Structure 1
Amino acid sequence: MGIQHIQSLELLFHKVAKLHSNTVHSLLSGKDVYPGQPPLLRALAERDGQSQKELAETMQITPATLTVMLGRMEKTGLVERKPDVTDQRISRVYITAKGHQGLLGVNETMQLMEETCFAMFTTEEKIIFRRLLLQMYDNLNHADFKHLVD
């Protein structure tokens, strides 16, 4: 059974999202940038020298997750951590020249993905699709699933 025969919107959405994610990961792997890292590079490009606490809040991840991510990114030379000049307890994160190059690669990859994904879409279809995705996001963001988990 081919993808055209899938009736469930949820399953089709999942398959498209997974294919998109796997393709992006594959394209970025040669640039030393891995899943989860592009938002951090963008955040630092917008405001370099953020504290680890600020970055974790910006990215909506736990400080422990950020610490692991920063360790990997330091090893590949994308970022560097330095103590704050006024408070040695605070670690500030800076994007390196290699990090800026990685971000250029990310931006090029995302541009290619957008062009590829929406190649056969009209401007109107893109506007409608964006509106529908925003509605899905809003639906999920406001859904109350707590009673189903307990």
Structure 2
Amino acid sequence: MKEIDRYTAYKAFSEAIRKHYKRLHVLLEEIHVYPGQPPLLFLLDREGGLSQKLLAEKINIKPSTLTTMLKCMEANGLVEKVQDQEDKRVLRVFLTTAGQKTVAAAKKIMNRLSDEMLADFDGEEVELFYNMMEKVKGNLHI
């Protein structure tokens, strides 16, 4: 078997990421969600009522990016902002009923995508893949 150099492995990883993103985009488009929105939807599902500042911190995006994302999601009826009763300067973000349904649909899509992505992997390979991705994350300093 031919030995793979680091650049070739990196290139394959980059191509896999791009294909994953494109496939995710296609699947999420079916439910009118953009690829950057699921982390926010899932966080709001777990911890609804967080401030915009805290949401931006928790999903590691700029507050201005979050503001744009929330405007779009609010226009689509997925989230609502409610003024904090104790501190009127703070807006808390909650999922609407439509947002909760969208979370359920997005979770199904994520499961479908992970099934597609790992279709030919046996249990040992899935574990190896997971461990390698954890190692990659640990190697990247941001």
TM-score when normalising by structure 2 = 0.91
Q: Deviations over 1:100-122 (max 9, x none)?
A: 11111111111111111111111
- The aligned amino acid for 1:129 is F
Query: What CA distance in whole angstroms lies between the structure 2 residues aligned with 1:84 and 1:128?
Result: 46
Query: What CA distance in whole angstroms lies between the structure 2 residues aligned with 1:125 and 1:141?
Result: 26
Is 1:43 paired with 2:13? no
Who is 1:124 aligned against? Answer: 124
Where structure 1 has 5 or more consecutive residues not aligned to the other structure, the ranges are 1-6, 143-150
Who is 2:24 aligned against? Answer: 24
| Secondary structure, counterpart of 2:92 in structure 1 | strand
Q: In the TM superposition, what is the alpha-carbon distance from 1:141 to its structure 2 partner?
A: 2.6
Query: What CA distance in whole angstroms lies between the structure 2 residues aligned with 1:101 and 1:132?
Result: 34
Query: What CA distance in whole angstroms lies between the structure 2 residues aligned with 1:76 and 1:44?
Result: 16
RMSD over aligned Cα atoms:
1.2
Who is 2:110 aligned against? Answer: 110
Is 1:66 paired with 2:75? no
Query: What CA distance in whole angstroms lies between the structure 2 residues aligned with 1:85 and 1:59?
Result: 25
Where structure 2 has 5 or more consecutive residues not aligned to the other structure, the ranges are 1-6
Q: In the TM superposition, what is the alpha-carbon distance from 1:86 to its structure 2 partner?
A: 1.3
Query: What CA distance in whole angstroms lies between the structure 1 residues aligned with 2:34 and 2:124?
Result: 33
Q: Percent identity?
A: 37
Who is 1:56 aligned against? Answer: 56
Query: What CA distance in whole angstroms lies between the structure 1 residues aligned with 2:116 and 2:66?
Result: 31
Who is 2:86 aligned against? Answer: 86
Q: How many residues align?
A: 136
Query: What CA distance in whole angstroms lies between the structure 2 residues aligned with 1:22 and 1:37?
Result: 15
